[in-house]
Amino acid sequence: MTYAKYSASGNDFVILHCFVEKDFTQEAIKLCNRTEGIGADGFVVLLPSKEADFKWKFYNSDGSAAAMCGNATRAVAHYAFNNNLASSKMKFLTDAGIIESEVMNNNIVKTQMTEPKVIKEQFEQEGFIWYLIDTGVPHLVTFVDDLEKYDHELCAKMRYEHNANVNFAKMQNGKIKVRTYERGVEGETLACGTGMVACFLRAQDLNLVKDTALIYPKSNEELTVSKVGEKIYFQGAVKKVFTATIE
């Protein structure tokens, strides 16, 4: 099998397409392993679909399935376009619904995110004010004055208690800086697309940003999140790292 490794804002994925639908849990665990496999945060399989250009099965590095991953949508769109699976404007099916993406110039990919759902309005816990919102997967968001307040043990506790990813965000010169603890990875990631969108929506709720904002994850790559009417768009560059053939 031939696999492609992609990086989207520091979030890395192993991607392939095939015609056989099955449980790829073990493949995900093996290939995402950073010492004995290719190494990645997630594993994505593209499959035929009657409802869209294609559909995906997405797995975290521990083999668990996830309904949605913002950075992966951009990497997958680039992969699909360059493998002639779709045109530059495409639709594909995820467990969170139909995703629309567009491959633009200079490897920039723009994705329309799924409709967000607020799970729990702001509440206080562990000395922080939190906000719980589903942007394809559930995310806890707290805004702080110093991102060094990010705490791994606290994030792990909040993640299991609320079954959600955990984001610490900070406003800096009108831009949003984010650090994310991600389920399935069970640690901090360099970037999380749905997490950045969740932080943008919380910032809007707090009147900290308008309808468009620049967001920087741990990788410090620049991404843009915008809201047009009720639609949310997530945009940034992706990079094909390499292809590999494994027997």
Asked if 90 and 124 sit in the same domain, the reply is no
Total number of domains in the chain: 2
> Is residue 11 annotated as involved in ligand binding?
yes
Q: Are residues 142 and 221 in the same domain?
A: yes
| 52 and 124 fall within a common domain | no
pLDDT confidence of residue 65:
94
183 is in an annotated binding site: yes
Domain identity same for 128 and 199 = yes
The reported pLDDT for the residue numbered 185 is 87
What pLDDT shows up at residue 93? 96
User: Does 123 share its domain with 88?
Assistant: no
How many angstroms separate the most distant Cα atoms in the chain? 53
Are residues 199 and 168 located together in one domain of the fold? yes
What pLDDT score was predicted for residue 165? Answer: 97
Contacts of 34 (CB under 8 A, 6+ apart): 40
Domain range for 50: 2-113+236-245
Q: Per-10-residue mean pLDDT for the chain, 247 residues long?
A: 92 95 95 94 96 96 92 96 96 94 94 95 97 96 98 97 97 97 92 96 97 97 95 96 88
Q: Are 117 and 134 in contact (CB under 8 A)?
A: yes
CA atoms within 13 A on the CB side of 73: 33
24 and 121 housed in the same domain: no
Q: Is 195 annotated as a binding residue?
A: no
CATH classification of the domain holding 12? 3.10.310.10
In sequence order, which residues have a C-beta less than 8 Å from that of residue 72 and are 6 or more positions away?
Answer: 8, 11, 13, 42, 44, 56, 58, 193
Whether residues 200 and 146 fall in one domain: yes
Q: Are residues 184 and 209 in the same domain?
A: yes
Residue 148 CB contacts under 8 Å (≥ 6 apart), including other chains: none
Residues that are catalytic: 69, 192
pLDDT, position 106: 85
